Structure 1
């Protein structure tokens, strides 16, 4: 136990650096929703990753819109961007690798454009951890689940099974490209299957020992992953890895979040990250949404989540730069 504690304390965490400057940290919102708003058809099996082929500038513009809205962290458009998915669509291995790099470049360019536009901001930043700007601006490399590659809604059930070695082989090359392209950390997101989570943590420890990641789970209810694993069990698995710098949930209904934070905080002292959907209901069988006009907004709900223990907050499906702006304004006016 003492050895593990020492390792945790020695890890140079960008999340901890950011939280030392600002809390809560604001995560960005949906990518696909904004791409669709800008005219990109995301109905293919590649979902939002199709824009890396058809409209990479739109990906950059969405990232920049979220930075302008007040987001501290941009999540790359690589949730469904992996070598196998691109090759399944007839794209060469070499081009598939380049497209993953394109996703990182789009986020990095958006960050630099934002910094240039605000170089004379009144709130000049003085902390050495994040030079040249008033607040931390990070790029997280999205590592979506194997279930997303299946493109059949499996990330909402967790009902898929590979060996640990097969999970690692599936994720390794994408993670290598993300790391080499300049991300600040990995985002293991919408994780619904505990076996895949364990494999990813093992891959992180063995192949990316100088990198950190957050893990955010997809839930069937406030206390269980979609595959039935208790959230406390899953959070305990994540807590045991010193390279996991935040633990939480995403792509869930907002009403599940407060109780989920309680389950996570019961087993870890690490920062808790939450970025739920906007309250609309998704139907994986038809890949359609039912709008929920009376759902409370992120900015209405977020103070409860902070009180419960969350310190990184954003939005997932169907959220927009306006949602993120209102969220940021609720805490950092």
Structure 2
């Protein structure tokens, strides 16, 4: 099956994926790493997959969800990665038999976050996915499915790795989202869809985390924004603890089948099940939906750019801030050369407050820099949760490095209309996604509007012929200095010609007034003329109030209006922490020290600020990058305050040991908890992931913490929480235990005899209440 055949199939009817593996093996009493069954109990894997084939599936997944090098190492699996993956394909093909069932190589997360949120590099993740993908491909899979990804950057690494192995194999790419339509790393469904519309995948989908009725509203957004076929695999409701200690999911096969009709009505092309779904769930779903034709979807026509957490519509007008530009600024250039990006962070915040939608990034003289400068600046801006970026980078290898690290849909600024430059742009746009700024010139700038228009038209046709749609192009009609006797009317006329052709345009506004007095008035007046002729975007100085007012006024007169930007208005200290304003925080602390003791500031002011930041995170106001950044910002402040205390006063709010239970290598949730607690003044002892009950007991006896925090993300591992609780009781160790995780709920926690916290913020509040008692 090649990609063309695959996509033709999806036009004919709804196709069906299989259901859960882990929860089904758990029902049979297996409690280990399910991928090891490909070696130790092939029959168990075969029987489940044969049951799915008999249920009527079209696509059978290999039992390789966690079978990448990093995950297997974390799980302490000693079997050879090649044997695990190769056997998985062999078993799946045997189960498929002679029936028309395709085998998809199943790939998921490494279990680690990628820089800047985590500890592994993009290249490391890419290599891990390529290694697993190559084994599966050589073993004979018909396609790939990437699923349960919570980090868009990691998903991008997997997509690039698999596509580099084969240009002709189908790829389904899926992320997992919370009920608020956001991934744990802050990426929305809309951002996910608009980037994957550009990337070289065939189907875009959502799986896991939510039950059908809660996933439907999230999936509706995917259906609106995805230009490609869409897939979905909900969980079978929430897990429920039985009297015998087993876990069952609430949604029956009958209800699941009925719910899945809603997804088909919304426009799903491929449907299946995730955690808790059995062959019976899948059989009834297929029986209910068999031979259904895919529904036509009404897809949103607007174009967007995005960062990891911020989506920005291009229409009616895109304001691109120009001030992150080191050209001709020696001090700024020196800072960048020394990898001091504090000025860039400051300018990012300022321009956002002034009304920029996008930040143009120009690091100045590139021969003074290397690739690491570009990856670091992109990761720095990603970490502070910045606006989408327009990358103004001249060297091809530097541009590719920046695009590789970038999370979201950027603007690539820019390309001339020369064929070799366009070919480079085509490669970058197809591989990494984004919107291109196209200059209306080849070797030199044409004098007339007609010449510029013809060059742009020819270049756009070439881009379209090579798979880049015109709605991914912003044509720059070129603004020249009026002080150099260049006629600005040529630019205005070029905009008019391009607009009539249905092409979007963008200008570098400040070029007009270079070297002239009263620049702001010139810029504003000229911009009004351009807007009247249909200009769509401009790179400009957002601190020019006259220019910004000209945009709003002209758009209103044209019957259009910019969407109002929402800014986080919080306590000044909270805002300083979230914006990493280290100098201002230091000044504020010194001011507070005139009235309060270091201990009072630490426990009553700084700790409460971080508790509030935790609440903002739990409510979805801020996201994981902001939380990590806040923790990094306040940690040295806590250390400074601690250094001022008398020896006897040096104390933390309390001590907490945190661990992910044995058999579970999902570390993100537990790390969020550790980050928030540490930055709120707690002494945090992090035992890591896959920690046996005996080890937890040993560490509790050794450190005598006030609280024990346990994380279990998988249905197959939540029973370990009770195992730890029972062992501690048996050994006479009394300690409050707070537990959390995706598969846990309050009912199960109460049955285990532990406290339940839905998220890190709730855990922090609960811990403080326990300590007060």
Q: Which TM-score bucket, shorter chain as reference?
A: 0.7 to 0.9
Unaligned runs of 5+ in 1: 1-10, 116-132
Change (3 A) 1:292 1:82: same
Structure 1 equivalent of residue 110 of structure 2: 146
Among 114, 117, 120, the residue aligned to 1:162: 120
| Contact 2:65–2:106, Cα closer than 8 Å, also in 1 | yes
Q: What is the alpha-carbon distance in structure 1 between the residues aligned to residue 67 and residue 35 of structure 2?
A: 5
Change (3 A) 1:20 1:265: closer
Q: What is the alpha-carbon distance in structure 1 between the residues aligned to residue 165 and residue 251 of structure 2?
A: 45
1:91 aligns with 2:83: no
2:158 match: secondary structure: helix
Among 74, 77, 85, the residue aligned to 1:100: 85
Kindly state the Cα deviation for residue 206 of structure 1 after the two structures are TM-superposed.
2.9
Change (3 A) 1:65 1:14: farther
Q: What is the alpha-carbon distance in structure 2 between the residues aligned to residue 322 and residue 222 of structure 1?
A: 30
| Contact 1:278–1:297, Cα closer than 8 Å, also in 2 | no
Q: What is the alpha-carbon distance in structure 2 between the residues aligned to residue 161 and residue 235 of structure 1?
A: 26
Cα distance per residue 1:164-188 (max 9 Å; x no partner): 1011022111100011111111111
Q: What is the alpha-carbon distance in structure 2 between the residues aligned to residue 191 and residue 314 of structure 1?
A: 17
Structure 1 equivalent of residue 250 of structure 2: 292
1:255 aligns with 2:218: no
Kindly state the Cα deviation for residue 291 of structure 1 after the two structures are TM-superposed.
4.2
| Contact 1:87–1:96, Cα closer than 8 Å, also in 2 | no
Structure 1 equivalent of residue 627 of structure 2: none
Kindly state the Cα deviation for residue 293 of structure 1 after the two structures are TM-superposed.
6.0
Q: What is the alpha-carbon distance in structure 1 between the residues aligned to residue 251 and residue 223 of structure 2?
A: 31
Among 18, 32, 53, the residue aligned to 2:22: 32
Q: What is the alpha-carbon distance in structure 2 between the residues aligned to residue 105 and residue 91 of structure 1?
A: 20
2:205 match: secondary structure: strand
Count of residue pairs brought into register by the alignment: 283
Structure 1 equivalent of residue 758 of structure 2: none
Structure 2 equivalent of residue 245 of structure 1: 202
1:225 match: secondary structure: coil
**Stretch deviating more after TM superposition (182-191 or 163-172):** 163-172
Change (3 A) 1:317 1:179: same
| Contact 1:83–1:97, Cα closer than 8 Å, also in 2 | no
Kindly state the Cα deviation for residue 297 of structure 1 after the two structures are TM-superposed.
2.4
Q: What is the alpha-carbon distance in structure 1 between the residues aligned to residue 196 and residue 120 of structure 2?
A: 19
| Contact 1:14–1:184, Cα closer than 8 Å, also in 2 | no
1:68 aligns with 2:54: yes
Structure 1 equivalent of residue 644 of structure 2: none
1:272 aligns with 2:230: yes
Q: In the TM superposition, what are the counterparts of 1:175-186 in structure 2 within 5 Å?
A: 175-186=133-144
| Contact 1:63–1:110, Cα closer than 8 Å, also in 2 | yes
Kindly state the Cα deviation for residue 256 of structure 1 after the two structures are TM-superposed.
3.0
Cα distance per residue 1:190-221 (max 9 Å; x no partner): 01101101212222333332322111111122
Kindly state the Cα deviation for residue 228 of structure 1 after the two structures are TM-superposed.
1.1
Q: What is the alpha-carbon distance in structure 2 between the residues aligned to residue 216 and residue 256 of structure 1?
A: 17
| Contact 1:257–1:305, Cα closer than 8 Å, also in 2 | no
Q: Indicate the RMSD between aligned Cα atoms, in angstroms.
A: 2.7
Structure 1 equivalent of residue 545 of structure 2: none
State the structure with bigger RCO (CA 8 A, min sep 6), 1 or 2. Answer: 1
Q: What is the alpha-carbon distance in structure 2 between the residues aligned to residue 296 and residue 252 of structure 1?
A: 20
| Contact 2:23–2:276, Cα closer than 8 Å, also in 1 | yes
Q: What is the alpha-carbon distance in structure 2 between the residues aligned to residue 294 and residue 108 of structure 1?
A: 29
| Contact 2:230–2:270, Cα closer than 8 Å, also in 1 | yes
Change (3 A) 1:64 1:222: farther
1:188 match: secondary structure: strand
Structure 1 equivalent of residue 7 of structure 2: 16
| Contact 2:36–2:84, Cα closer than 8 Å, also in 1 | no
1:190 aligns with 2:148: yes
| Contact 2:39–2:87, Cα closer than 8 Å, also in 1 | no
| Contact 2:17–2:57, Cα closer than 8 Å, also in 1 | yes
| Contact 1:261–1:309, Cα closer than 8 Å, also in 2 | no
Q: What is the alpha-carbon distance in structure 1 between the residues aligned to residue 218 and residue 139 of structure 2?
A: 33
Kindly state the Cα deviation for residue 302 of structure 1 after the two structures are TM-superposed.
1.2
Q: What is the alpha-carbon distance in structure 1 between the residues aligned to residue 179 and residue 225 of structure 2?
A: 18
Q: What is the alpha-carbon distance in structure 2 between the residues aligned to residue 138 and residue 66 of structure 1?
A: 12
| Contact 2:145–2:171, Cα closer than 8 Å, also in 1 | yes
Find the structure with the greater CA-based Rg: 2
TM-score normalized by the length of structure 2: 0.35
Among 197, 212, 227, the residue aligned to 2:170: 212
